[in-house]
Structure 1
Amino acid sequence: MTKLNLIIPLLILTIQLVNAQSVESLKIKKYTQKNANEIITEFSEFLSIPNVASEPLSLRENADFIMSMMNRKGIKNVQLLHGKTKNIPPAVYGEVLIPGAKTTLIFYAHYDGQPVNPEQWNQNLSPFIPKLYTAAIDKNGSNIPFPLDGKYNNEWRIYARSASDDKAGVDAIINAYDAINKSGLKPSYNLKFFFEGEEEKGSTHLDEILQENEALLQSDLWIICDGPVHQSGKKQIYFGVRGDTNLYFTVYASKRPLHSGHYGNWAPNPAMMLAQLLASMKDNNGRVTIKGFYDDVIPLTLSENKALLTVPSVDEQMKTELGINSAEMRDKTLSESINLPSLNINGMQSGNVGKMASNQIPTTATAVIDLRLVLGNDWERQQQKVIDHIIKQGYFVTSNEPTDEERNLYPKIIKVIRDKNGINAQRTSMDLAIVKKVISAVEATTKDQVVLQPTMGGSLPLYLFEKYLKTNTISVPIANHDNNQHAENENIRLQNLFDGIETMGSLMLIK
């Protein structure tokens, strides 16, 4: 037998072994390329609708737009889901039920967004007027018109609030089903769709919506489309998320501002007091010094630790990209760090700076901290650990403005306001059979390694799905890592949006 005769059967066998989903993914990609202009035009219209989480009227407009998209693209039983509380942003639901299917997947994304300060955005940008750029603005990208011929460069970016977080997720999921439907592909599982309108406010009423619609929302797995791909550009899957909660501090000193010359060295300075208090909460290696802060952490499993070892290192890349010399936790990689609970100062304020600075001792100093949680932490218990630490530093803790009597009694006074809507962490086992199918489906869309992360650094209320629906969740993000979510100049790279449609489509076709 000749070498050629040996090679040909091997090639045929190789082709036969290729996951059929990869062929289906190519069909979805072809459909997306052919219909790019329609997809981008519709997406831009979606981005033009303001969606700040605190503005219910515009959120309802977003929900109506999503319903219209779903109806046009063949999704059935499209409706709004509510909880017991009236006038809250509804969830948008739809479904595609397959005769004889015994497994159900629910695809989740959220349509609300973070607040915007237009003055912080690039002077050529407006948060709710989508604009197309040839590259990232900080990489000398330039503004260009949306092409009339529908020919897009995958490196181009759309700038607008929620372009990445998380209207890209909504758009990718709906268009993925449209591509499947119009390409003649047939899902084997029941597909359900759930788009939340309060995620950026802490999903305040999600528990109500889940409880009120428990029967409708039964499934075998929720697939969450939110967040960025790996910093290396590789696709990744998250098996869990960190929890989150906030604490708000106000330190009090003199009842009126004082001249720093006449009273300096004598009158307590609340800014200095607050700085010293916050500094007492961490050591020089970034480890939280609060008693018991790490005690209830549930360790990673053997499978999770093995996955963590395969995550590509991007630490040096990110240091260069961000202009920093070292990490806060010097003995931990980025992936290791996000699998630990954290304490972060979101912001501090006291007195004035810049042109408004004056030689004074201010009356108060304020700060907001956020506590990220991992599996085992409870958000209320973690809050209390911080408060106990503050008391040990000699502070009288109150939840109100201090009275004159309290001012005379206590040398250190702090008002602490607890976030009432904290969320706990959640993690799904990597060893579940359906999870392994999800991994294979994502792998079928790329030639690169798919990064498997035990925990996402960010937070989502995924523990609620476990608590009220007794189901598992897994997160498959699509946005570029440098998307500026939650901040000014938010954007989505077109390649990520198109890849996201292909990824979501492959997941809808798992068998």
Structure 2
Amino acid sequence: MKSILSFGIICALTTSSAAFASGASKSIEDYISENAHRIVGDFRDLLSLPNVAENRADMDKNARWITDYIASRGFTSETASAGGAPYIIAEKKVPGATKTVLIYAHFDGQPVAAENWASPPFEPTLRDDTIENGGNIVPWPKAGEVFNPEWRIFARSAGDDKAPVIALMAAIDALETSEITPSVNIKLILDGEEEAGSPTLSKILEEHGGKLQSDLLLFCDGPMHQSRQRQLVFGVRGAMTVHLTTYGPKRPLHSGHYGNWAPNPNDRLIHLLAKMKDEEGRIIVPGYLDDVRGITPAEQAAIDALPQMDGALKDELALGDTDGGGKRLEELIMAPAIVVKGFEGGGTGSKSRNIIMPSATASLNLRLVPAQTPEGIIATLNKFFEAEGYWLTANTPTDEELKQHEKVLKVEWVDGGYGAFRSDLDSPTARKLITILNSVDQKTTLLTPTMGGSLPIYLFEEALDAPIILLPIANHDNNQHGRNENLRLQNLWDAIEVYAAVLTQFGLED
């Protein structure tokens, strides 16, 4: 397998596209330079629209903006809903094209805590660096002034995941201006509820899957490699969320008068969580890893070929140590994970009080790998909790239930989780796509077996008969999901070139 993978990479490196070899790449670069103000202005307008999936009015407004925006590039589209936020399904037919590329992106964003941001999350702001590196606000350039490609635009969804909409339309504009005809028909499915777990996507695909058939599904989400090098990604982990609540006294008690006697729910929850992983972060819940398969030789070869970034990341993040027993990041994200997202059991700092609280709650993010199923994870964890002596309930327990059981645990499984996905790094479609991307700048495209994050790809795998590959465009340090989310402008320019190359070349005969 390793030799086959290497042969595919070598073929990709030694093959170039006639279109880009003849100057198309230069034409795209010139277009970006001449139209940077309009492109960034469009991005700024889209980022100014609040987009938390649970706010249907906001998401409808986003959908209308995008529908109008893509219509001016020749797309016919419809807005679909299955009870949640809207999806946009669109198509642009190209005369003579016999192949179709389907592109997925999402236009919703994580909820924001505006008070934690250095600038308002829906007032896009330019800075010359990250906030962590002391980046200063840059005034928006006037007509005729240039954009420094190292500047960043800060706003919710700048990095995750509105940029593909702008970059793809700019690529289409650039090709038209350069009188270059795409070689493929273009279909879009734009998700308005991905950050909420795409809870109605299966219904959307059931009702509209026939309109989405294609020769390639490109998932345009996620960050580029930490080395800033372009990458193709062939898998994602699944994701589930569960909230765990332990219980103590019915009302808050003075910790001096009742400590050592009244059970403290903080203590109980901490002990329970500590039994789920060892000090290196490895999961030790009995049975949790039974279905996990090992890394294949081809996947290991791809990991070994990636730039080694662990040392630089430790320095960037001010880490004195890492979990995983010394294994590199790209290998560790191919394994399952249990992440404690948050813990609430009373106040800290100026809000701390000398009391034993009635309850404590932790929110856990569970990352799954292929062969693991949500049903299997739920059964395994419930068995583990019961083995630790807990009586389980999905609801807030009554006083009688608390009296009847020594240890009570409320287990709330959140709907909208994802299964994992992983595909072949050396498929004919993958080899062709590698060739196309390498033709943009003659630089090697990295191949990453799995991205650590999660996307609803498994639903597309079940519903559609098309190869699926991830093409991330965002900078790795974009603060997605957190405060001060941003996109480096060079990443936007690079995305336009890459999309133009795919649209121009994928439909050509091999």
Structure 1 residues 275-299: Cα deviation after superposition (integer angstroms, max 9, x where no partner) = 0100000012211001122211233
The whole-number CA distance in structure 2 between the counterparts of 1:17 and 1:292 is: 47
Q: TM-score, length-normalised on structure 1?
A: 0.93
Which residue number in structure 1 is paired with residue 307 of structure 2? 312
Partner residue of 1:101 out of 79, 97, 100:
97
State whether structure 2 residue 28 is matched by structure 1 residue 24. no
- One-letter amino acid of the structure 2 residue matched with residue 246 of structure 1: T
Deviation (angstroms), 1:251: 0.2
Partner residue of 1:230 out of 203, 206, 225:
225
Q: How does 1:317-396 map to 2 (within 5 A)?
A: 317-396=312-391
- One-letter amino acid of the structure 1 residue matched with residue 307 of structure 2: P
What SS does structure 2 have at the residue aligned with 1:345? strand
Partner residue of 2:268 out of 256, 273, 281:
273
Structure 1 residues 423-464: Cα deviation after superposition (integer angstroms, max 9, x where no partner) = 101112122212211111222223443221111100000011
Partner residue of 1:142 out of 133, 136, 142:
136
The whole-number CA distance in structure 1 between the counterparts of 2:497 and 2:355 is: 59
Deviation (angstroms), 1:109: 0.8
What SS does structure 2 have at the residue aligned with 1:40? helix
- One-letter amino acid of the structure 2 residue matched with residue 77 of structure 1: T
The whole-number CA distance in structure 1 between the counterparts of 2:302 and 2:47 is: 36
Which residue number in structure 2 is paired with residue 473 of structure 1? 468
Deviation (angstroms), 1:235: 0.8
Q: How does 1:86-485 map to 2 (within 5 A)?
A: 88-122=84-118, 125-148=119-142, 149-485=144-480
CA 1:92–1:150 in structure 2 vs 1: closer, same or farther (change >3 Å)? farther
Does the CA contact (< 8 Å) of 1:241 and 1:457 recur in 2?
A: yes
Deviation (angstroms), 1:17: 6.4
Which residue number in structure 1 is paired with residue 495 of structure 2? 500
Which residue number in structure 2 is paired with residue 75 of structure 1? 74
What SS does structure 1 have at the residue aligned with 2:308? coil
Which residue number in structure 1 is paired with residue 3 of structure 2? none
Q: TM-score, length-normalised on structure 2?
A: 0.93
What SS does structure 2 have at the residue aligned with 1:419? strand
Does the CA contact (< 8 Å) of 2:16 and 2:436 recur in 1?
A: no
Does the CA contact (< 8 Å) of 1:75 and 1:94 recur in 2?
A: no
What percent of counterpart residues are identical?
41
The whole-number CA distance in structure 2 between the counterparts of 1:133 and 1:240 is: 33
Deviation (angstroms), 1:237: 0.9
Does the CA contact (< 8 Å) of 1:36 and 1:150 recur in 2?
A: no
The whole-number CA distance in structure 2 between the counterparts of 1:91 and 1:399 is: 31
The whole-number CA distance in structure 1 between the counterparts of 2:56 and 2:431 is: 39
My pick for the range that moved more, 249-258 or 178-187, is 178-187
The whole-number CA distance in structure 1 between the counterparts of 2:406 and 2:206 is: 48
Deviation (angstroms), 1:312: 1.0
What SS does structure 2 have at the residue aligned with 1:456? coil
- One-letter amino acid of the structure 2 residue matched with residue 371 of structure 1: L
- One-letter amino acid of the structure 2 residue matched with residue 76 of structure 1: F
Deviation (angstroms), 1:173: 1.7
Q: Pairwise CA RMSD of aligned residues?
A: 1.6
What SS does structure 1 have at the residue aligned with 2:89? strand
The whole-number CA distance in structure 2 between the counterparts of 1:75 and 1:99 is: 12
Structure 1 residues 178-212: Cα deviation after superposition (integer angstroms, max 9, x where no partner) = 21222111222222122111111101111111121
Does the CA contact (< 8 Å) of 2:102 and 2:214 recur in 1?
A: yes
Does the CA contact (< 8 Å) of 2:230 and 2:445 recur in 1?
A: yes
The whole-number CA distance in structure 2 between the counterparts of 1:388 and 1:31 is: 59
Structure 1 residues 209-245: Cα deviation after superposition (integer angstroms, max 9, x where no partner) = 1121122111121101111111111111111111100
How many residues were matched structurally? 490
Which residue number in structure 2 is paired with residue 40 of structure 1? 40
Does the CA contact (< 8 Å) of 1:107 and 1:173 recur in 2?
A: no
Does the CA contact (< 8 Å) of 1:28 and 1:502 recur in 2?
A: yes
Deviation (angstroms), 1:93: 2.6
- One-letter amino acid of the structure 2 residue matched with residue 104 of structure 1: T
The whole-number CA distance in structure 1 between the counterparts of 2:16 and 2:100 is: 25
- One-letter amino acid of the structure 1 residue matched with residue 41 of structure 2: T
What SS does structure 2 have at the residue aligned with 1:458? coil
Structure 1 residues 11-51: Cα deviation after superposition (integer angstroms, max 9, x where no partner) = xxxxx964333532332222111110110111101111111
Q: Unaligned 5+ residue runs, structure 2?
A: 1-13
What SS does structure 2 have at the residue aligned with 1:414? strand
The whole-number CA distance in structure 2 between the counterparts of 1:353 and 1:101 is: 62
My pick for the range that moved more, 400-409 or 126-135, is 400-409
Does the CA contact (< 8 Å) of 2:240 and 2:366 recur in 1?
A: yes
Deviation (angstroms), 1:401: 1.8
CA 1:252–1:326 in structure 2 vs 1: closer, same or farther (change >3 Å)? same
Deviation (angstroms), 1:176: 1.5
The whole-number CA distance in structure 2 between the counterparts of 1:365 and 1:316 is: 37
Deviation (angstroms), 1:113: 0.6
The whole-number CA distance in structure 2 between the counterparts of 1:166 and 1:390 is: 37
The whole-number CA distance in structure 2 between the counterparts of 1:324 and 1:477 is: 26
Does the CA contact (< 8 Å) of 2:16 and 2:435 recur in 1?
A: no
What SS does structure 2 have at the residue aligned with 1:509? helix
What SS does structure 2 have at the residue aligned with 1:422? strand
Does the CA contact (< 8 Å) of 1:478 and 1:496 recur in 2?
A: yes
Deviation (angstroms), 1:150: 4.3
